[in-house]
């Protein structure tokens, strides 16, 4: 028989070993649980990423298949013809493409500089008591439904342009080469210029909000260092803030451009919905999205429907090209600055 003291030591050793084994088992279970959670999270995020690609691919396939009858019937002439006659089933996409590009260009030419200037004012110059009201007002502009913009544009903004702005533009630029063509014709009120101005108002909140957020993310020490060596506010914005936030600013501009390219209801109200190409910005026109919205419910026949789906495919391609060009431009900028 073992002495009592030795038995106590053995029992304590056995208990310690059992406790250590239990602790190791619990740690192993906890580690396995963490590994399982990490693997599940990794697979979930991967599935979400691939899900986006599947949805995008499905949209592309549906657009291509739906537009095949029109593309086979008209070929490349579908892109170069402005005739749109549902009676004779003769369709061309030139007028909607032209209207989409022109109205979006007008919107971005107005909204980008104004939006960036507002963001600079809010982050660098605006008094503290005024920042919140102005910021809230800009965010409210982004929350207004597009159909409200369309109604306001048709009943308030278009008559104002017809009575004041458009006659002024016609009288001022009527004798100027090139500009006389851009501002020719009677002042209808509605038209591509009106649609572009409405789009500029609609995309302005997106550009301003994103630019303001990225400007506020600039480390204060960088701006303080610039001010410390004698830079003015303009020099700080030009040489510190804008280079540091160029990716975010361009992202905001691309977001606004995407909204301008695909806007439907507001443009439908004020553009005139005329399938023709005119050099005058005051003339009625149409866009891809407004043409689809106006005529899809009235499309009778496979060729008519396929032509409208082909317009959607063209808008998809235009958006893809714009985004690809933006990414390429960012890549060139990053390579240039090393």
The end-to-end CA distance of the chain, in Å, is 82
pLDDT at 99: 94
pLDDT at 97: 94
Task: Assign 6 a pLDDT band (cuts: 50, 70, 90).
Answer: low
For residues 151 and 166, membership in a common domain is answered with yes
Whether 116 has a pLDDT exceeding 90, the answer reads yes
Whether 73 has a pLDDT exceeding 70, the answer reads yes
Q: On the CB side of 323, how many CA atoms lie within 13 Å of its CA?
A: 11
Q: If you average pLDDT over residues 256-270, what whole number do you get?
A: 90
Contacts of 247-251 with C-beta under 8 Å, sequence gap 24+, read: 247/330, 248/210, 248/211, 248/213, 248/214, 248/217, 249/116, 249/210, 249/211, 249/214, 250/326, 250/329, 250/330, 251/210
For residues 208 and 273, membership in a common domain is answered with yes
Cα–Cα dist 147/269, whole Å? 8
DSSP string, 193-236: HHHHHHHHHHHHHHHHHHHHHHHHTS-HHHHHHHHHTT--HHHH
Q: If you average pLDDT over residues 204-218, what whole number do you get?
A: 90
For residues 44 and 99, membership in a common domain is answered with no
User: Over the stretch 13-51, which tens digit does the pLDDT of each residue have?
Assistant: 545 555 566 676 777 777 878 788 888 889 899 999 999
Asked whether 207 and 112 are in contact (CB, 8 A), the reply is: yes
Whether 12 has a pLDDT exceeding 90, the answer reads no
For residues 204 and 298, membership in a common domain is answered with yes
Final residue of a domain: which of 74, 98, 132? 74
Cα–Cα dist 55/162, whole Å? 44
Kindly state the helix (H) or strand (E) to which residue 128 belongs, with its residue range. helix 128-143
pLDDT at 18: 58
The sign of the dihedral angle between the CA atoms of 137, 140, 141, 147 is: negative
Asked whether 146 and 264 are in contact (CB, 8 A), the reply is: yes
User: Over the stretch 270-293, which tens digit does the pLDDT of each residue have?
Assistant: 999 888 898 899 999 999 999 998
The set of residues, in sequence order, having a beta carbon less than 8 Å from that of 51 and lying 6+ positions away, is none
pLDDT at 193: 93
pLDDT at 248: 84
For residues 124 and 93, membership in a common domain is answered with yes
User: Over the stretch 135-172, which tens digit does the pLDDT of each residue have?
Assistant: 888 888 888 888 999 999 999 999 999 999 999 999 98
How many domains does one find in the chain? 2
User: Over the stretch 182-196, which tens digit does the pLDDT of each residue have?
Assistant: 898 888 899 999 999
Here the CATH number for the domain that contains residue 312 is 1.10.3720.10
Whether 121 has a pLDDT exceeding 80, the answer reads yes
For residues 183 and 275, membership in a common domain is answered with yes
Lookup result for tokens 């053995």: 10
For residues 205 and 167, membership in a common domain is answered with yes
pLDDT at 204: 92
User: Over the stretch 297-320, which tens digit does the pLDDT of each residue have?
Assistant: 888 888 999 999 999 999 999 988
For residues 111 and 27, membership in a common domain is answered with no
Whether 10 has a pLDDT exceeding 80, the answer reads no
Asked whether 226 and 235 are in contact (CB, 8 A), the reply is: yes
Which DSSP category does 285 fall into? B
For residues 89 and 227, membership in a common domain is answered with yes
Asked whether 70 and 306 are in contact (CB, 8 A), the reply is: yes
Percentage of residues in the chain having pLDDT higher than 70: 92
pLDDT at 20: 62
Q: If you average pLDDT over residues 45-63, what whole number do you get?
A: 91
Q: How many residues does the chain have?
A: 338
Final residue of a domain: which of 13, 48, 74? 74
Percentage of residues in the chain having pLDDT higher than 90: 40
Angle at 336 between CA 335 and CA 338, to 5 degrees: 60
Q: If you average pLDDT over residues 43-60, what whole number do you get?
A: 91
Q: Which domain holds residue 258?
A: 76-337
pLDDT at 152: 94
Final residue of a domain: which of 54, 74, 94? 74
pLDDT at 39: 85
For residues 242 and 116, membership in a common domain is answered with yes
Q: If you average pLDDT over residues 240-245, what whole number do you get?
A: 88
Pairing label, strands 84-85, 90-91: antiparallel
pLDDT at 26: 75
pLDDT at 331: 77
pLDDT at 230: 86
For residues 23 and 157, membership in a common domain is answered with no
Structure tokens given for 26: 């619990």
For residues 226 and 290, membership in a common domain is answered with yes
Residue 223 has a CB neighbour count (10 Å cut-off) of 20
Whether 110 has a pLDDT exceeding 90, the answer reads yes
Kindly state the helix (H) or strand (E) to which residue 90 belongs, with its residue range. strand 90-91
The sign of the dihedral angle between the CA atoms of 265, 267, 271, 277 is: negative
């Amino acid at each position: 028989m073992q002495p009592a003291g030795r038995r106590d030591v053995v029992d304590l050793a056995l208990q310690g070993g059992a406790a250590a084994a239990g602790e190791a088992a619990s740690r192993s279970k906890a580690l396995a649980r963490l590994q399982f959670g990490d693997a599940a999270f990794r697979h979930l995020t991967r599935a979400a990423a691939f899900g986006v690609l599947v949805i995008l691919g499905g949209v592309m396939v549906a657009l291509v298949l739906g537009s095949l009858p029109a593309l086979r019937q008209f070929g490349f002439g579908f892109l170069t013809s402005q005739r749109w006659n549902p009676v004779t089933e003769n369709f061309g996409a030139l007028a909607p493409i032209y209207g989409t590009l022109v109205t979006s260009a007008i919107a971005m030419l107005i909204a980008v500089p104004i939006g960036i200037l507002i963001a600079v004012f809010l982050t660098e110059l605006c008094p503290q008591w005024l920042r919140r009201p102005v910021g809230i007002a800009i965010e409210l502009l982004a929350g207004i439904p597009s159909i409200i913009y369309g109604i306001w544009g048709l009943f308030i903004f278009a008559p104002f342009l017809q009575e004041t702005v458009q006659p002024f533009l016609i009288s001022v630029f009527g004798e100027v080469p090139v500009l006389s063509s851009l501002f020719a014709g009677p002042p209808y009120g509605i038209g591509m210029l009106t649609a572009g101005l409405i789009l500029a108002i609609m995309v302005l909140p997106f550009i301003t909000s994103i630019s303001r957020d990225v400007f506020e993310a600039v480390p204060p020490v960088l701006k303080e260092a610039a001010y410390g060596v004698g830079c003015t506010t303009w020099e700080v914005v030009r040489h510190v803030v804008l280079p540091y936030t160029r990716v975010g600013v361009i992202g905001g501009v691309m977001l606004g451009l995407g909204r301008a390219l695909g806007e439907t209801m507001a443009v439908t109200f004020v553009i005139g919905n005329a399938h023709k190409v005119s050099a005058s910005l005051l003339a009625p026109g149409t866009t891809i999205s407004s043409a689809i919205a106006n005529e899809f419910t009235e499309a009778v026949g496979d060729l008519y429907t396929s032509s409208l789906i082909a317009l959607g495919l063209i808008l998809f391609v235009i958006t893809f090209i714009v985004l690809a060009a933006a990414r390429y431009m960012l890549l060139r900028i990053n390579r240039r600055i090393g």
